A and B are shown apart, each in its own frame.
Chain A
Amino acid sequence: MKYQSQKVAKLYFIAAIGLFVGQILFGLIIGAQYIWGDFLFPTLPFNQARAVHTNLLIVWLIFGFMGAAYYLVPEEAETDLVMPWLAKLMFWIFLAAGAATIVGYIVMPFADLAKLTQNDLFPTMGREFLEQPTITKLGIVVVALAFLANIGFTILKGRKTVINLVLLMGLTGLAVFFLFAFFNPTNIVWDKYYWWWVVHLWVEGVWELILGSILAFILIKTTGVDREVIEKWLYVIIAMTLITGIVGTGHHYYWIGTPEFWQWWGSIFSALEPIPFFMMTVFAFNMVNKRRRNHPNKAAVLWALGTAVMAFLGAGVWGFLHTLAPVNYYTHGTQITAAHGHMAFYGAYVMINLAIISYAMPLLRGREAANSNKSQVLEMWSFWLMTISIVFITLFLTAAGILQVYLQRFSDNPLPFMVVQSKIELFYVLRELTGLVFLAGLIVYVASFFVGSREPEATVEGEVVAAS
């Protein structure tokens, strides 16, 4: 850590991990509700618990992105953050607003929350992933503006690197496209059409810019490969991302009342969406193979490589599985979508956050470069536990989805939804068991912050011969 103001990132990372734990606990609750339908009913109905699960995910990922930005922007710009106090203030505001909203989801029926927050005045709540009360949404905008100002002025003041610029573009895009969350017409087609401008253009658009720049930063730091090379790759990858991803939005416009041509445009461009993810995998392994030094923080390198692989599998391969319109006709809105969602979010966004946390936390806690061996071994255990769990969760949900599609939509005698659900219950049991393994991995992950913190830092066993 070179600049004092980078320290503010630590708060954000701690909050992110805390919320991550909450997200997984609620995931287990709704997973259990898939098996025992009356679990916690009527105290905590499925929809409220699911809103907690998904909203916590989004909020903790954004906490992680913000922490990452506060950590890497000063280091890249070679100057202190312009307003560290604002970063701290916004942290507490964001945390308080987020926590209040989550508590609201848990303790009261959704309709009461709507009343309490005056949803009548400006109704925006209750749409998937955008469940938040309007007042929370406004708070998010305020936090985002303050955050962007802080980061933006720091970048303007200091050295302008490609990583910083791309990160800033990604974060600005995140804020700009969020504004479509305030557009909520009665016409359901337009509601859905522009809802995707938030959701798709986030996760298959601007978030990938954030992902790319954080990954590039970690690779520069841990491999010592020439910045020029890494920045060029970064540009090529994000170019492919947006070239395919923007029109790829069309794969959400097949069955919502939008015209037929989207089936072609959406299929063709979203079929190309795996390309940038594939390039990212090639890029990460290439850079690590060409490394000029062995970094003592092996865990961070593992997370970075894991991100590249799992993002390709989850977002690329599992996305491609059901992105073509003729396939999507049968799979749209089934457990196949859920399977893809789980692996894509974990592979792309959870892992990149854990990677930057893994890289930055030891430094924020006063280490020279890395945690002790003992701590790293634990962290790598958690990597494998969580990653393998998510792979199996995805496989079980895919199996459930295939059966669901067959029984409910494809066979000669389509069965009602609830009948099908009881027939595929076995896979929900398996998913829940795997979810418990994931939780174990997460506990190991949290433990790795406390174990071995008094032991000496890990060191590298000898230098690499610089690859040509």
Chain B
Amino acid sequence: MNEPRFLLRPCTWVYLTLLLLTFITWFVGVNHLSGRFFAFLVFGFALLKGQLIGDHFMGLRWVAGPWRWAIFIWLVLVGTLVTAAFWRTL
């Protein structure tokens, strides 16, 4: 292991971040918070979580070439389409 250890493994930090973002999303959900700010906040979290999973769990961070961006591109596409559809309704 030549990466510095901050108490926990990097993947554990990622895991905790995912949990934190999930709890915020849930909090927004159970309180029925609505509108552009909250909707796109939790959706942004979702995209971020997707990128973390792609990078760290699926290991694309350690890959060179086009596959490095496979998940990222998908997230951008889905993100754009969903945002376009939700924008004027919120």
Instruction: Please say whether the chains A and B touch (CB closer than 8 A).
Output: no
